[in-house]
Amino acid sequence: MTLIYKILWIDDRKDFFINHEDFIKDYLDGKGFECEFTKYTSVNEFTKKEAIPEHQKAYDLFLIDLNLDNGDTGDQIIDNIRKNTLVDIIFYSTQLRDVRASVKEHDIEGVYTTGRNKDDFEEKVTDVIDITIRKVQDVNNLRGLIMAEVAELDRIKKEIIKEFTIKNSDHSKLKKYIRNKVFKSFGDNTGQLKYLSAKDETYIDIDVKVLLDDLIYDSYKKARTVHHISNSEFDLENYKQRL
């Protein structure tokens, strides 16, 4: 699967795009990303097409020139962007001191500054790209840890429910609870669901062990079942530390 890295670039000098875009594309390619550029040359052009917050949030990085044609300045765009998103921004100009003065004057937060010098500009861009990629990787790693923990908790809940059914051969009350409480939101359709049809008050047709492996019996439903079991005299001491 190809990962897309989206850059919105605002500069009235098209030659500046041309001089640097291949370098940025190659750098991102080396990181395993395909680079997509969206380019504008004026505040008006940007405002017409990117004023919607959802559009701005779709980008991974903004590259914005301070001085644009028609008296436009990049800080006007940054002010709009910062109202909608905290995406990283590189603010640049031939005169670096002018950029820093603009950032200070307009109290712009969360931007990186650099000059137009080729080496300085490309070094700053690659540094910020590395930072944004690490942010994504950190989020993905955290998501992976959370999913692993959820899977482990799910496995323990299944163990508890299975052990309860083994030690309580007549667990019709548990079956009744699962059918009428855990699956209450299914209403009159509950009886049509596989493993949940109950022809009499013994609920003998409900096979809890089989139900445990059905996707319809999700983590939340298992948690409710375990909570119900914990309110009985069933001993959960062996599971407390793991939970």
Mean pLDDT is lowest, of 46-60, 121-135, 176-190, for 176-190
Res. 34 pLDDT band, cuts 50 70 90:
very high
- Report the SS3 class of residue 11: coil
pLDDT for position 8: 92
Q: Report the alpha-carbon angle 61-104-122, nearest 5.
A: 35
Phi and psi at 207, nearest 5°, equal -105, 100
Q: CA distances (Å), 219 to each of 83, 139, 147, 192, 214, in order?
A: 38, 22, 12, 21, 11
pLDDT for position 81: 79
Res. 1 pLDDT band, cuts 50 70 90:
very low
pLDDT for position 27: 95
Mean pLDDT is lowest, of 13-17, 121-125, 236-240, for 236-240
For the chain, give every domain's residue range. Answer: 3-116, 153-240
pTM score above 0.75:
no
pLDDT for position 39: 92
Res. 240 pLDDT band, cuts 50 70 90:
low
Query: Which class in CATH covers the domain with range 3-116?
Result: alpha beta
Of 76, 86, 3, residue with least CA distance to 40? 76
Cβ–Cβ < 8 Å for 241, 153: no
Q: Please give the sequence-ordered ranges of beta strands (E in DSSP) within the chain, or none if there are none.
A: 3-10, 33-40, 61-65, 88-93, 111-115
pLDDT for position 25: 95
pLDDT for position 44: 82
126 has pLDDT over 90: yes
